[in-house]
Structure 1
Amino acid sequence: MSVSAAYPINRPAARVIRDDAEAIRVAEQIAELLQAGAAERDLNRQVPVEIVDAYSNSGLWGISVPREYGGAEVSHATLAQVIAIISAADPSLGQIPQNHYCLLEDIRLQGTHEQKRFFFGLVLEGHRFANALSETGGKNVQDIRTRLVADGDGYRIDGRKGYCTGSLYAHWLGVLALDEADRAHLAFVPRESAGLSVIDDWDSIGQRTTSSGTVLAEGLRVPAFHLFPTYRSYERPTQAGPFAQITTAAIDAGIARAALRDTIAFVREQARPWIDAGVDKASEDPLTIIQVGALDIRLEAAEALLERAGRVLDAGKAAPDEDSVAAASLAVARAKVLTTEIAIEASNKLFELGGTRSTLRKHNFDRHWRNARVHTLHDPVRWKYHVVGNWLLNGARPPRHDWS
């Protein structure tokens, strides 16, 4: 039996956010708290428990809970905006609840009324959910080896999971496993469950405090009530895929915002103009001015497509069908292309426009590029171009899975 990593998990005490406007206000307030220590947390790979608690107790983790079960059920556009606001402050912390929101969508799509009432109730209290979905050893991301077998009046899960974002900080984990017919099920289990181990071994160059490490299930017992037939989300048209993708794109938009924010401040306050510019301040250098303007325009375009994608998801949420789900996937694909590219470009341009002194370790500006480079690898953006082009040329609907 492996030893689970230690992290204080306190009893939650969350506020309940009531509407979209309140969600945006709270996000802006929490962003101020998170931004203050973001660079230091990245350097130290540590997140104080009071920061995580303040974040989840803010109520932001419950804003997608349906109104029927006491939540605000904010629009997809608002959810994306909230994630982007938080990610501009600290994208690692912005990513922690990204899979939490996706797990709540699984509950909404496949849970019974009793399951929804129970698990959504936990969320509104402030319980944090993390994922144990992906695996690192298969031939591709859909090659899942973790197995689910009937065991008495419940089930047993055995397997090894990777990229388990937020697992160190979670109250509950959603573990993906295949049954005897190779159908995917999602099991929600308390983090302290016997047979469940969280290994804090995430050592990527970016998104360093997401706790996206390993989770082991070794004879993990799961009651039937905690099991969700998530395979059904892809047997018929649902928004599970585009929902997951818009939350991911929002993180990249936040990374771009952060990089551009620090570029503007550094050019104004510390960078030196190039000798041929004939000006006294770097902020007066005409070539720098042009490039900052170009970055802002591309970021605005990315955020506009992100908002538009949210509206497309909103329009098809009540009665998703083949056409509305395809429209949502296409809208999110377009947004994700631009959020990916501006995140990488803005985080790189910071150094070009800031000059050599912007690379000093004390600034830790390289975290923006590291975060952008790592998080945008979630799925290959080159395939977003293919999805859009294949639709336009051949009328081919986007594939139905978590990455589309």
Structure 2
Amino acid sequence: MNALLNTGAPLLRDAAEALAVAEGLADSFAREAAERDRERRLPHAELENFSRSGLWGITVPKAFGGPGLASVTLTKVIARIAQADGSLGQIPQNHFYALEVLRVNGSEAQQRRLYAEVLAGKRFGNALAELGTRTALDRNTRLTRTDDGYRIDGRKFYCTGALFAQRIPTLAVDEHGVGFLAFVPREAKGLQLIDDWSGFGQRTTGSGSVLFDSVPVAADDVVPFQSAFDRPTTVGPFAQLLHAAIDTGIARGAYEDLLQFVRNKSRPWIDSGVDKASDDPLTQQEIGKLRVRLAATEALLERAGEFVDRAQLAPDEHSVAAASIAVAEARAISTETSLLLGSKLLELSGSRATLAEFGLDRHWRNARTHTLHDPVRWKYHAIGDYYLNDRLPPRRGTI
């Protein structure tokens, strides 16, 4: 398929250039976002343009030929794309997550080779989560040593982006239960991608199943994973930061569509003496509350990115914990704001907003689906424990 034959991408030198490219892409992605959602039309062409833009390589360190842009910049890029299309905003999340694991735990040779692939325009998907395990942290997918490398056996689900990727970073455990991340080539023998994602939101993320039937993988493509949580690293807060960016972008998209819809709406259904909904004082009050909430969410997201950037430069027990808490704060408020704005969009726009010609209900559906990734209630618990008892949060990918 042509969408898997990316042959190169430009190098974006700084944050201003990356944000300008993201802005242009977002404008083009927004035009058919409702249609893609309604028809569940997978965004192969859009992803090709996205990865050809150079944005998928902006976190590659300068030492390996990339621009090494800050996490703050990446969150703004992801949020802007998610504003246009929540699914498109989510698809690269695990690509960047895998690159962070590679940065933290990969050998220099692995980094040089895999980063070069990314700078050439290749996309990484993911095969991390599994269904039917005792907890969300348990894994049954096995990594077995062979004479010429390893083989992988197991089944994964919620594999966002795998359908569109040239490599599928896969979390598997060895005979000792130790986790590794294998950067499995898409064309590997025994690898099967199944498009069975049927969520009522985030409908075009390609978050289906991946089957591994004695899939061979070279030793050079296997990177330690578990050790990224055995010591203080930014892998956990970095992952959560991108989830917060997705929700913040969805919230901003709902807000902008709400303004546009209300401005063009006729007299409120209760006669308040005004001719336009935008002149109704109760509607204005609601918009004002939403604007304040959204501004606070975007500010906390940027602040969290700054904490992650500092921890990446000097990771230790306290800098990583501070980053995790700052990200948890952003993740908590972005969860609530995206759900609130999606709901208020429907409330203030009325039943017409759910019509297929508008498709504005997708913002709430996207937010409701994506915010179920991990429970926000535990983030509040960790935040409170940190400030009240000076207790550091656990090191894992959900905080």
TM normalised by structure 2 equals: 0.98
Give the Å deviation of 1:49: 2.8
Asked if 2 retains the 8 angstrom alpha-carbon contact of 1:20 and 1:72, the reply is: no
2:295 match:
300
2:223 match:
228
Structure 1 stretch displaced more, 41-50 or 170-179: 41-50
1:85 match:
80
2:22 match:
27
Give the CA RMSD over aligned residues. 1.1
Q: Within the alignment, does 1:246 sit opposite 2:224 as a pair?
A: no
SS in 1 for 2:192: strand
1:113 match:
108
2:319 match:
324
Cα deviation 1:251-277 (Å, max 9, x = unaligned): 000000110111100000135324342
Give the Å deviation of 1:199: 0.3
Give the Å deviation of 1:361: 2.5
1:107 alignment partner AA: L
2:131 match:
136
2:39 match:
44
Q: Distance in 1 between matches of 2:160 and 2:129?
A: 10
2:199 match:
204
SS in 1 for 2:313: coil
2:172 match:
177
1:3 match:
none
Asked if 2 retains the 8 angstrom alpha-carbon contact of 1:272 and 1:355, the reply is: no
- Judging changes above 3 Å, is the alpha-carbon distance between structure 1 residues 8 and 61 closer, same or farther for their aligned structure 2 residues? closer
Give the Å deviation of 1:70: 1.1
Q: Distance in 1 between matches of 2:2 and 2:194?
A: 11
Give the Å deviation of 1:12: 2.7
Cα deviation 1:343-372 (Å, max 9, x = unaligned): 000000011111232232221111111000
1:52 alignment partner AA: L
SS in 1 for 2:126: strand
2:394 match:
399
1:202 alignment partner AA: W
1:290 match:
285
1:149 match:
144
2:333 match:
338
2:253 match:
258
Q: Within the alignment, does 1:17 sit opposite 2:9 as a pair?
A: no
Asked if 1 retains the 8 angstrom alpha-carbon contact of 2:277 and 2:283, the reply is: yes
The runs of 5 or more residues in structure 2 that have no matched partner are none
Q: Percent identity?
A: 52
Structure 1 stretch displaced more, 265-274 or 13-22: 265-274
Q: Distance in 2 between matches of 1:277 and 1:71?
A: 58
Asked if 1 retains the 8 angstrom alpha-carbon contact of 2:43 and 2:204, the reply is: no
1:69 match:
64
Cα deviation 1:124-169 (Å, max 9, x = unaligned): 0100000000001112111100001111120011000000001111
Q: Distance in 1 between matches of 2:115 and 2:355?
A: 46
Q: Within the alignment, does 1:99 sit opposite 2:94 as a pair?
A: yes
Asked if 1 retains the 8 angstrom alpha-carbon contact of 2:3 and 2:45, the reply is: no
1:336 alignment partner AA: R
1:55 match:
50
1:203 alignment partner AA: S
Q: Within the alignment, does 1:349 sit opposite 2:340 as a pair?
A: no
1:211 alignment partner AA: G
2:232 match:
237
Q: Distance in 1 between matches of 2:361 and 2:34?
A: 10
1:338 alignment partner AA: I
Give the Å deviation of 1:182: 0.5
TM normalised by structure 1 equals: 0.97
Runs of 4+ deviating beyond 6 Å: none
- Aligned to 2:275, which of 280, 305, 316? 280
Q: Distance in 1 between matches of 2:39 and 2:271?
A: 40
2:238 alignment partner AA: F
Cα deviation 1:165-186 (Å, max 9, x = unaligned): 0111111100110011101000
Asked if 2 retains the 8 angstrom alpha-carbon contact of 1:271 and 1:354, the reply is: no
Asked if 1 retains the 8 angstrom alpha-carbon contact of 2:141 and 2:172, the reply is: yes
Q: Distance in 1 between matches of 2:30 and 2:69?
A: 24
- Judging changes above 3 Å, is the alpha-carbon distance between structure 1 residues 271 and 178 closer, same or farther for their aligned structure 2 residues? farther
Asked if 1 retains the 8 angstrom alpha-carbon contact of 2:6 and 2:52, the reply is: no
